[in-house]
Structure 1
C-alpha cells in the first residue's frame, strides 16, 4: 500500500500578505498564540503536539471568528474547544446530541488538569443538577454539556444566559442540515439560542460534511465572519472493497464467514458489522455467537441499560464484534477497530463514510467491505419516498398566521389536528422556507407577511420535494460507489469535493487493475466551482475528470454528467458561488 502525505488544513479565508508590515506582525502574533496554545495543550491535557488542523481552528477562535471544523473521526475535534476555553472568560457550552457522547468527553476532561466539566440531562437526579449549576455559577466548572432539546426550555436558557458563556460549541454539527445524513430538528433551534446568549464565539464540529452540508451549517447556525478548517477526507490505511452478491442467502453467508474469519485472528479484531434492521442485528449476532464469536447486537429497540452494557463491553475489549444498526456510532471512542463490514448499503455515502471512519483510527490497516445487492438501493428509494405533509403544512401555517403573538410548540399542538411528528415536520419545512421562525425564547411565529398561508404551503411542499430529490440522488451516488470499476477511493473522495489524481492502490478495483489515473483540473469546471444547468439550476462541481462531471444542484441533488456531453452541448455554465 502506498502512503500519501496527509493534506494540511484548508482555511476558508486567506491570511494577510506575509511580505507587508501588517502581514509580518500578524505572523508574529500567530506564532506567539500557537506557542501558548501548544503549552496549554501539553501542560493541561498532556497533548505533546497539536495537529495543524487543530491549531488552525484554535487560532481562528482566538482571533474572534466563528469556526466550522471538519475533521475525521479520531482527529481530536474536542481539543479545538477545550484548549481555547481556558483562555476565554466565561464557561464553554457544548451542545452534544447523546448522553453517551457527553459522558465520554467529560471523562476525558476529568482525566486532565482542566477545570471541571458538568452535564445537565434527563438521566440525572435533582441533586446532581443542582450541584452542576452551583459549580458553573461559582466558576469551578468550565465546560457545560447540554443536548439541543434542553435548550428549548426557557428555564434552562435563562439560567445559561446568566453564566456569560464565552464559547458555544455545536458537536455533530451536520445534524443541523437537512442535507446531512442525521438531520435533527432540534438543531434548527440553535441559531436563536446563540443570539439569545449574545452570540459568543461559535465552533461547529463534524467528521463529515460535503459542501452543501457545510453551507447549510453556516446558514442555519448564523455563523458570523466565520472560518472553515477542513482536513483531508482521505484515510489511506482503510482498504476499501465491495463484494457484489446476487441474493440474500449468499450475502448472509458471506458476512457470517468473513466476520468469523476476522474475529478468529487477534490481529484483525475487533470490528463492526452494520445492518439495516433490528431483526438482522439479532439474527447475525445470534449465529455468530453460536459459532463461538464474542459478539453482541446493538439497536435502538434495546433498553438503554442493555445498549450501555454493550457499549462498555466493546470499549473494554470484551467483545470481538458488534452487529449494529446505525444507532451505534456517535460516541464510540475506540482507535483500534480493524474492520467495518456492511451487510447492506446505507442510504448515502455521507453515512457510509462516517461509519467506516470509525475503523483504523490508530493509523494501522483496517478492512472495509460492503456486501452489495443492487435491489437494496431500490428498496431504499421506496422507503425514503415520503410525501409532503400538505394537511399539516396548511394547518400549521393557518394557525400561526392567525395569531398576533408567537406560540409555544405545545400551544400550537393544541390548535392543529395532526400528529406530533407531522406537526414537527411541517414546522421544519416552513422554517426552511422562511415563512415561520423561532423567537429567542423558543416560540414559533409567522414571519413573512408578504406570503399568505396558501403560498407558504406551496413553498413547503416544494422544499419537501427538493429534499426527496436530494435523498434519491444520494442513493444513486451510493450505487455508483458500489458498482464503479474505477478506484473506489477516488469516487468516495470526489463525492466530498476532494480530488485524488492517482488510483490509491488500496482498494479492490486497484488490486484488480481496473482503476486508472484521472485528470483533476476539470477543464472549464474545476472542483468546487459554481455552475448552472438549464433544467436543474445552480450547483457546485464535486468531482470532474476526462469522462464525467459530478455536480450537486441546489434543488436536485447529485447528478453525474458525461464530460463529452457537457462540452459538446454546453450543458453547464460557469457562475459565481456567491
Structure 2
C-alpha cells in the first residue's frame, strides 16, 4: 500500500471533490480528519449528506471497509465503488455469525447513525443499540464515529460511555435551521387546543406530523381529525410492524399526508418535504423537540414547527419520570442473572416482565457493572460484579441521577415554550451552540420583541 505524504486535510478535500463533486466545510473536515487519524468522533449535526460526509469521505481513503450501523440499513443497498460502505442494522450486528463475517473483513472505521438511541435514557430508546459498544470492540476496535441530530450534554455523556468512545472529537454544528419557523402557543384548555390545531391543519399545505404523548392520544386524535375531513392516520409503537411500515410508506408517498404519531415515528422517517410539525402537548425534553421538528423542511424549503401547550402537560411527563424499577424488581433480575448465561426472552418470561422493561433494567445494571451481554447475546453476571445488595443500591442511585436530569429537561421544555426572547437562541443554548444574534425565524422575532425574521414560512401553516 502506498503511503501518502500529503496532509490529511488536503487528502480529504481532494477525495471529496473526486468522489462526490463537492468540498468539505469546517465541521465536516474536523470530523473526517479525526477518524482518518484514528480518533473516535461524536458528531451532532442535522441528518443528511453534510453529516454523513464525516465517514463517507474518509472511507474512500481507508484500507479496510467502513461499517455503517443504522436502523435504516435494512432498506439501504450496500454501496460499491470507492466508498466501500457496509450497512448493517443493530439487530443484525448482534447475530454472532454476522459479527464474525464483518470481523473477518477487518473494518477500518465504524459509523453509528442515530447514536442518541444508544442512550439508556434516550427519548428514542432502542434496546438493540445498548450492546453496540461491546460489539464494535469485537470488530477489532476500529475508530468509531457516532452521529446524531440532537444530543444535549447528558445524552452525549451516555453516548460516549455506552459506545466506549476514546477521547472523541466533538463536533456540534448546524443545529440552527433558518428555513424552519418556530412558534409556541399557550392554550386555555383542551377544546382551545383542538380548535387551534384544526384551524392550522385546514390551512396547512403539504404533508406534516402531529406529535402526541401517548398511543391512545394518537388513535383518538387521528380518528377525530378524519371525522373533520382531514386525511390523517395514526402511528405508534404498539402497532404491528407490518402496519407501521404500511402507514409510514403511505406518508412517504403522499397518500396519507397527515400523520398523528408518538415519538416512535422519528428514526427512519425518510421524507425531505415535510412542511410542518405540530406538537399537541409538551415533548419530554428539548432533545426530543429538536429531533422531531428536525423532520420538517429537510429539503431546505420553508417549513413550520408549532407547539400547542398547556402547563398541565407537565403532569403526565413527571409521572413517567417516576416510573422506574424498584429495589425488589432489580433484585429479582440480578438473581436471575446469577443462574448463568440466559436469553433475554427467557429471563423476561420467567420474571413476568416485558422485554422492553427487562432491556431497560439490564441497561441500568450494565451501567453499574452488575450485568454483561456475552458474544452470543446471552446475559449474565460478570466476574467483577458488585455484591447484589450493593448493585441494587448503585442502580437506584443511577436512577435518581437520571430522574434529576430528566426533570430538568422537562422544566427546560416549559421554559422554551414560555420564552419571551428568541426561541432559536433559547433552544440551541440547551445544546451548547450559541447564536450570535436572534435567529429571526421564530414567532417572538416576528412580533418585534427582537428583530424581524430573515425568512418566514407563513404560506406553509397559516396563523390561527
In the TM superposition, 1:168-317 aligns within 5 A as: 168-263=110-205, 269-317=206-254
| In 2, Cα distance between equivalents of 1:412 and 1:427 | 14
Query: What residue number does 1:45 align with?
Result: none
The question of 1:82 aligning with 2:56 is answered yes
| In 2, Cα distance between equivalents of 1:277 and 1:245 | 19
| In 1, Cα distance between equivalents of 2:385 and 2:275 | 57
- Secondary structure at the aligned position of 1:362 is classed as coil
Contact 1:273 1:322 in 2 (8 A): yes
Contact 2:8 2:33 in 1 (8 A): no
Cα shift at 1:398: 4.0
| In 2, Cα distance between equivalents of 1:151 and 1:75 | 24
Task: Return 5+ residue gaps in structure 1 as ranges.
Answer: 1-24, 43-47, 117-141, 264-268, 517-578
The question of 1:32 aligning with 2:6 is answered no
Query: What residue number does 2:261 align with?
Result: 324
| In 2, Cα distance between equivalents of 1:291 and 1:412 | 47
1:435 to 366, 370, 387: 370
2:299 to 362, 382, 391: 362
| In 1, Cα distance between equivalents of 2:385 and 2:106 | 37
Tell which deviates more after alignment, 493-502 or 506-515.
506-515
Contact 2:12 2:29 in 1 (8 A): no
| In 2, Cα distance between equivalents of 1:71 and 1:335 | 16
The question of 1:165 aligning with 2:107 is answered yes
Cα shift at 1:354: 0.5
Larger Rg: 1
Cα gap change, 1:104 to 1:407, in 2 (>3 Å):
closer
The question of 1:508 aligning with 2:443 is answered yes
Query: What residue number does 1:390 align with?
Result: 327
Contact 1:244 1:371 in 2 (8 A): yes
When normalised by structure 1's length, the TM-score is: 0.70
| In 2, Cα distance between equivalents of 1:415 and 1:290 | 41
Cα shift at 1:33: 3.1
| In 1, Cα distance between equivalents of 2:151 and 2:303 | 23
Contact 1:74 1:335 in 2 (8 A): no
In the TM superposition, 1:414-429 aligns within 5 A as: 417-421=351-355, 422-429=357-364
Tell which deviates more after alignment, 434-443 or 406-415.
406-415
| In 2, Cα distance between equivalents of 1:158 and 1:207 | 30
Query: What residue number does 1:485 align with?
Result: 420
Tell which deviates more after alignment, 444-453 or 51-60.
444-453
The question of 1:334 aligning with 2:313 is answered no
| In 2, Cα distance between equivalents of 1:201 and 1:494 | 29
| In 2, Cα distance between equivalents of 1:286 and 1:423 | 33
Tell which deviates more after alignment, 25-34 or 472-481.
25-34
Query: What residue number does 1:495 align with?
Result: 430
When normalised by structure 2's length, the TM-score is: 0.86
Cα shift at 1:80: 2.9
| In 2, Cα distance between equivalents of 1:287 and 1:439 | 48
Cα shift at 1:312: 2.5
The question of 1:413 aligning with 2:384 is answered no
Cα shift at 1:202: 1.3
Contact 2:371 2:385 in 1 (8 A): no
Cα shift at 1:399: 5.0
| In 1, Cα distance between equivalents of 2:383 and 2:96 | 25
Contact 1:399 1:412 in 2 (8 A): no
Query: What residue number does 1:144 align with?
Result: 86
| In 2, Cα distance between equivalents of 1:282 and 1:71 | 32
Contact 1:298 1:324 in 2 (8 A): yes
Task: Return 5+ residue gaps in structure 2 as ranges.
Answer: 452-464
- Secondary structure at the aligned position of 2:60 is classed as helix
Cα gap change, 1:62 to 1:152, in 2 (>3 Å):
same
| In 2, Cα distance between equivalents of 1:300 and 1:427 | 21
Contact 1:347 1:475 in 2 (8 A): yes
Query: What residue number does 2:462 align with?
Result: none
Cα shift at 1:86: 3.4
- Secondary structure at the aligned position of 1:341 is classed as strand
Query: What residue number does 1:381 align with?
Result: 318
Cα shift at 1:472: 1.9
Cα shift at 1:357: 0.8
Cα gap change, 1:343 to 1:426, in 2 (>3 Å):
closer
| In 2, Cα distance between equivalents of 1:235 and 1:28 | 33
| In 1, Cα distance between equivalents of 2:58 and 2:182 | 37
Query: What residue number does 2:461 align with?
Result: none
Contact 1:191 1:222 in 2 (8 A): yes
